Amino acid sequence: MEPKPWTERVLRAFKEEIGGLNFRLILAHVVMHLLPSHHFPRLRTTIYRLAGFRIGPRSLIFGRMEFTGSTALQRQLSIGADTMVNVNCFIDLNAQIHIGDRAAIGHHVTFVTADHDLGSASCRAGVMRPKPIIIEDGCWIGANSMILPGVRLGHGSIVSAGSVVSGSVPPDRMVGGVPARPLKTLSSGP
């Protein structure tokens, strides 16, 4: 059997590479590059809605978000009403992420849904096991924080800036640090 001509191999490789591209999201990001950060949040939010993301009324996106994931990114993310997402957030959408109403997401926050089984010594990152992230209503996530797979932030909880959250947080609790630990119980009233 003769090897395939190099042109067929190149064409097949090219098709495999572009097969997962999301052209609506690419177009949205091209437009986003034209908008200065912290300006035009309503327009930016509308563009993300047009790209297919579910974003509640009166929510605002202040900067470009970076997404990664295997497929159907738009179906994996939902953002509630009256929520604010600051600039330069990284959102891994290998599993669903739900951000509730009246949440505040600081700049450079990272959401990671991809986890791995522990592999053998020859490859420690074993089989990928995506786990969803749930941010309940009223949460505040400080700048440069990282939310890891399977985390649920309870209603009204706060994550201090620069924290790494690897476990779920009860409602009305402030956590902080690396790894995040309880800092304070907050009042549940208005």
Domain of 117 in residue numbering reads as: 21-185
**CB-based burial, 154-178: b 16+ in 10 Å, e otherwise:** bbbbbbbebbbbeeebebbbbbbee
* Residue 8 lies inside a defined structural domain of this protein: no
Asked if 116 is an active-site residue, the reply is yes
Q: Which residue has the higher pLDDT, 13 or 109?
A: 109
- Range of lowest pLDDT (63-72, 91-100, 141-150): 63-72
Q: Which residue has the higher pLDDT, 114 or 38?
A: 114
Residue 179, preceding bond cis, omega within 30 degrees?
yes
pLDDT value of position 190: 67
* Residue 5 lies inside a defined structural domain of this protein: no
CATH number at residue 54: 2.160.10.10
Half-sphere exposure (CA, 13 Å, Cβ side) for 177? Answer: 9
Place 113 in a pLDDT band, splitting at 50, 70 and 90. Answer: very high
Confidence check: pLDDT of 18 > 70: no
Question: Element (H or E) spanning 24, and its range?
Answer: helix 23-34
Place 2 in a pLDDT band, splitting at 50, 70 and 90. Answer: low
* Residue 147 lies inside a defined structural domain of this protein: yes
* Residue 14 lies inside a defined structural domain of this protein: no
* Residue 12 lies inside a defined structural domain of this protein: no
Domain count, the chain: 1
Q: Which residue has the higher pLDDT, 190 or 22?
A: 22
Catalytic residue, from 107, 108, 116, 155: name it.
Answer: 116
* Residue 2 lies inside a defined structural domain of this protein: no
The tokens describing 19, both together, are 């097969």
